[in-house]
């Protein structure tokens, strides 16, 4: 009998030893982190955050532009091993959700953080009533939008921290955040300089940053050269700007991760940060490119560091939520397919004599990063004595010489133009300055009889959307769809939305977008090919978002099973606000309106 029980006893003993070893390791890890971050917080003069008894906090990490499909592909190829382990072990539930139209960062983050993304029709647009050109990568535009959308509901980051986001969510501390960019600066104080010195005096960290920056820059040049030699995806050489972008990506990624770790130790109740590098690399090189996957691998390492400290439970219990604001769809640039930009084509349709101003560009954060870098270099300059201040000043001048941060010309050129075109991925708004109010389709037809038909007939344009009274008209090569609210009043020919998985939801989103006050007189969508799952993009990007078609409106969220979230009612980013509010703000929040079934949570094994 004892022979039969001996193996069982040995197994029990082994399990007991393993549990004790895990407990000892956890205790040692907690002790190490406690001493390490206690020293750092004392060095910065940071007090512990205000804590309510038993209040659970959250750390939300946003990966800009990563669709649920692309995340699963990256996991299957071993690009994000840490996140894959959390999902496979069921520590996190993975679920897709629909961000709505437009599928852009400002609309998504406004909805998530404030529950309101009303009248955010794209990433860039024109306001006919004021003559203002809104470009969301510029700080003054994000501040303007934040003032418009906030005030009705408390932001989900009330009392917390915001790092590298479009909006601050009512956070008490906002660094690297566009809507609060001019409010606080990291290095404009002795504490910030202490952080800089601690950061740079670590030789391993400094060498790592230098090597990573150099390697990223060299890889960028090699990728562009190889593409040019193969005749593929011509990416222009941009002088010093790729070095600025790469250096800021690497350095800022380390800074924001370190700031999150500090906040976790201090017990800050709500923390939200965005990693933008994948979105940038996918725009430049494509969804499945090596630079895009390398960006995901680096983000995965940051997730591991954040989660390791979170699980040490040094100050309070935290939930870790990992999400994307939107996805991306593989794209072909309109200009490379047809030899002219969308604005140039529209100018040709209208004939001579009219002044047209078109605005497009990479929806990347490089300009924002350079802007922030200039401000922080100025802060360093004010804290240093000569001759070190001279070095900081010279570096700041070099950065300023090679970056364009002007905001006024866009506004002036729009005012002086007869026609204004604003592109956001495969979505474009077209405005006619003959009136400060929105033009009806009948009025446009009276002015330019053949314009709508010519636009709808172009092989690179999928849909042309306009309004007529209380109706929304959708023109395509195959027919015309007339909507009143969500009801189809008249369908002539083919329904252009029939190629989408959920045409009814697409109709709802189109009607909402068309009714925004500052949407274009005409709204254009680049051609979508459901077989290849690609769109025609009105910017020079190889993966894009903003419009409809493909996974660009299907991001993901990974959340703890203990939250018990049912995301099936979520049809727009603003619906996610209610989930955060109920779980963490302790204020009543309305349930999202239940519509047709949305994608449900995925099993952990997928």
Same domain, 405 and 296: no
Same domain, 159 and 277: yes
Residue 110 lies in a domain: no
Higher pLDDT, 182 or 272: 272
- The vertex-67 CA angle with 66 and 73, nearest 5°, equals 95
Length of the chain: 606
Shortest CA distance to 471 belongs to which of 446, 488, 450, 492? 488
pLDDT reported for residue 511: 96
pLDDT reported for residue 377: 59
DSSP 3-state assignment of 497? helix
Query: DSSP letters of 518-563?
Result: TS-SEEEEE-EETTTTEEEESSS-SEE-SSSSGGGG-BEEEE-GGG
pLDDT reported for residue 412: 44
Shortest CA distance to 165 belongs to which of 325, 400, 57? 325
Looking at the predicted structure, is the pLDDT value of residue 43 above 80?
Answer: no
Same domain, 393 and 481: yes
Residue 118 lies in a domain: no
569 band by pLDDT with thresholds 50, 70 and 90: very high
Determine the angle formed by the axes of helices 366-383 and 241-266, rounding to 10 degrees: 70
pLDDT reported for residue 487: 83
Per-residue pLDDT reduced to its tens digit, 226-270:
777 776 655 555 555 566 666 667 777 888 898 899 899 888 999
Same domain, 84 and 201: yes
Q: What is the mean pLDDT of the chain?
A: 81
85 band by pLDDT with thresholds 50, 70 and 90: very high
pLDDT reported for residue 347: 93
344 band by pLDDT with thresholds 50, 70 and 90: very high
pLDDT reported for residue 222: 78
Looking at the predicted structure, is the pLDDT value of residue 159 above 80?
Answer: yes
pLDDT reported for residue 363: 40
Looking at the predicted structure, is the pLDDT value of residue 184 above 60?
Answer: no
pLDDT reported for residue 2: 46
Per-residue pLDDT reduced to its tens digit, 96-139:
999 999 999 999 999 999 999 999 999 999 999 988 888 887 77
Cβ within 8 Å of residue 247, ≥6 positions away: 213, 217
Among 14-23, 146-155, 160-169, 327-336, name the one with the lowest average pLDDT: 14-23
Among 139-153, 198-212, 228-242, 363-377, name the one with the lowest average pLDDT: 363-377
364 band by pLDDT with thresholds 50, 70 and 90: very low
Which residue, of 494, 515, 544, is where some domain finishes? Answer: 544
594 band by pLDDT with thresholds 50, 70 and 90: very low
- Residue 370, phi-psi category: left (phi > 0), alpha (psi -120 to 50), beta (remainder): alpha
Determine what percent of the chain is predicted with pLDDT higher than 90.
Answer: 52
Do 244 and 399 contact (CB within 8 A), yes or no? yes
Higher pLDDT, 395 or 271: 271
527 band by pLDDT with thresholds 50, 70 and 90: very high
pLDDT reported for residue 410: 40
Sheet order of strands, 356-359 included: 356-359, 419-424, 427-432, 522-526, 461-468, 471-476, 479-484, 487-493
379 band by pLDDT with thresholds 50, 70 and 90: low
Mean pLDDT, to the nearest integer, of 328-347? 95
CA atoms within 13 A on the CB side of 107: 28
Full-prediction pTM beyond 0.85?
A: no
Tokens 């002219």: give the residue.
Answer: 340
Domain that holds residue 19: 10-40
Same domain, 310 and 337: no
Residue 311 lies in a domain: yes
Determine the angle formed by the axes of helices 203-230 and 241-266, rounding to 10 degrees: 140
Q: H or E element: which one contains 176?
A: none
Q: H or E element: which one contains 141?
A: helix 139-149
Determine what percent of the chain is predicted with pLDDT higher than 70.
Answer: 70
Looking at the predicted structure, is the pLDDT value of residue 338 above 80?
Answer: yes
**Alpha helix stretches (DSSP H) within 333-450:** 334-338, 342-350, 366-383, 388-401, 408-415, 441-447
pLDDT reported for residue 508: 95
pLDDT reported for residue 406: 46
- Paired residues of 132 in beta bridges: 127
Looking at the predicted structure, is the pLDDT value of residue 408 above 50?
Answer: no
Same domain, 84 and 15: no
Higher pLDDT, 299 or 10: 299
Looking at the predicted structure, is the pLDDT value of residue 491 above 90?
Answer: no
Mean pLDDT, to the nearest integer, of 264-282? 92
Mean pLDDT, to the nearest integer, of 556-561? 98
Structure tokens given for 27:
């205790």
Structure tokens given for 32:
């190490």
Shortest CA distance to 322 belongs to which of 46, 7, 62? 62
Looking at the predicted structure, is the pLDDT value of residue 524 above 90?
Answer: yes
313 band by pLDDT with thresholds 50, 70 and 90: confident
Radius of gyration of the chain (CA): 26
Which residue, of 511, 544, 577, is where some domain finishes? Answer: 544
Residue 569 lies in a domain: no
User: Computed from CA positions of residues 19, 54, 171, 383, in that sequence, does the dihedral angle turn out positive or negative?
Assistant: negative
Residue 293 lies in a domain: yes
pLDDT reported for residue 374: 61
Same domain, 160 and 302: yes
pLDDT reported for residue 254: 82
pLDDT reported for residue 190: 44
Residue 555 lies in a domain: no
Same domain, 281 and 149: yes
What is the count of structural domains for the chain?
3
Same domain, 249 and 155: yes
1 band by pLDDT with thresholds 50, 70 and 90: very low
Same domain, 339 and 461: yes
Residue 195 lies in a domain: yes
Mean pLDDT, to the nearest integer, of 460-482? 96
147 band by pLDDT with thresholds 50, 70 and 90: confident
pLDDT reported for residue 503: 94
Looking at the predicted structure, is the pLDDT value of residue 593 above 50?
Answer: no
Same domain, 206 and 229: yes
Same domain, 400 and 442: yes
pLDDT reported for residue 603: 37
Sheet order of strands, 329-333 included: 528-529, 534-537, 329-333, 543-544
Do 162 and 174 contact (CB within 8 A), yes or no? yes
What stretches of 131-240 adopt beta strand conformation (E)?
132-135, 161-163, 173-175
């Amino acid at each position: 009998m004892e022979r039969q029980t001996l193996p069982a006893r040995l197994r029990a003993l082994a399990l007991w030893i393993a549990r004790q070893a895990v407990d000892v390791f956890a205790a040692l890890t907690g002790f190490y982190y406690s001493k390490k971050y206690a020293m750092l917080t004392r060095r910065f003069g940071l007090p512990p955050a205000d804590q309510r008894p038993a209040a659970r906090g959250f750390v939300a990490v946003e990966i800009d532009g990563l669709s649920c499909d692309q995340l699963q592909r990256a996991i299957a190829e071993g690009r994000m091993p840490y996140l894959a382990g959390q999902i496979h072990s069921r520590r996190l539930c993975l679920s897709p959700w629909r961000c709505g139209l437009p599928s852009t960062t400002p609309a998504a983050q406004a909805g998530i953080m404030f529950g309101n993304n009303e009248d955010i029709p794209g990433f860039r647009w024109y306001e006919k009533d004021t003559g203002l050109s809104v470009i969301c990568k510029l700080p003054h535009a994000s501040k303007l939008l934040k003032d418009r959308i906030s005030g009705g509901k408390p932001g989900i980051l009330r009392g917390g921290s915001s790092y590298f986001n479009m909006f601050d969510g009512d956070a008490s501390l906002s660094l690297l955040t566009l809507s609060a960019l001019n409010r606080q600066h990291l290095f404009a104080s002795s504490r910030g300089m202490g952080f800089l010195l601690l950061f740079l005096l670590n030789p391993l960290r400094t060498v790592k940053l230098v090597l990573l920056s150099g390697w990223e820059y060299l890889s960028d040049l090699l990728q562009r050269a190889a593409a040019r030699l193969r005749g593929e995806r011509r990416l222009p050489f941009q002088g010093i700007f790729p070095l600025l972008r790469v250096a800021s990506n690497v350095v800022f990624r380390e800074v924001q991760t370190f700031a999150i770790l500090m906040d976790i130790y201090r017990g800050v109740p709500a923390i939200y940060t965005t990693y933008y590098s994948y979105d940038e690399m996918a725009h430049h090189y494509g969804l499945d490119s090596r630079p895009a996957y390398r960006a995901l691998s680096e983000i995965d390492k940051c997730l591991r560091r954040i989660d390791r400290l979170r699980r040490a439970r040094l100050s309070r219990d935290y939930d870790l939520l990992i999400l994307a604001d939107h996805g991306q769809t593989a794209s072909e640039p309109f200009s490379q397919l047809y030899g002219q930009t969308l604005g140039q084509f529209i100018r040709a349709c209208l004939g001579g004599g009219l002044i047209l101003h078109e605005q497009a560009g990479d929806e990347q954060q490089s300009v924002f990063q350079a802007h922030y870098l200039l401000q922080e270099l100025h802060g360093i300059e004010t804290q240093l004595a000569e001759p070190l201040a001279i070095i900081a000043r010279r570096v700041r001048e070099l950065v300023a010489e090679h970056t364009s941060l002007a905001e006024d010309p866009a506004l002036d050129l729009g005012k002086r133009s007869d026609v204004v075109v604003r592109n956001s991925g495969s979505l474009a708004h077209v405005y006619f300055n003959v009136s400060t109010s929105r033009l009806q389709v009948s009025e446009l037809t009276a002015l330019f009889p053949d314009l709508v038909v010519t636009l709808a007939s172009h092989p690179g344009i999928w849909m042309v959307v306009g309004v007529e009274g209380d109706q929304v008209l959708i023109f395509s090569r195959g027919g015309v769809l007339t909507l009143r609210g969500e009801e189809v009043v008249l369908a002539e020919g083919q329904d252009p939305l029939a190629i989408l998985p959920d045409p009814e939801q697409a109709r709802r989103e189109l009607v909402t977008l068309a009714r925004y006050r500052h949407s274009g007189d005409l709204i254009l969508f680049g051609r979508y090919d459901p077989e290849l799952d690609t769109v025609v993009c009105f910017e020079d990007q190889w993966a894009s978002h903003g419009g409809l078609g493909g996974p660009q409106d299907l991001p993901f969220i990974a959340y703890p099973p203990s939250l018990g979230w049912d995301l099936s009612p979520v049809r727009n980013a603003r619906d996610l606000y209610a989930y955060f509010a109920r779980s963490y703000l302790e204020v009543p929040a309305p349930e999202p309106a239940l519509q047709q079934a949305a994608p449900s949570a995925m099993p952990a094994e997928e």
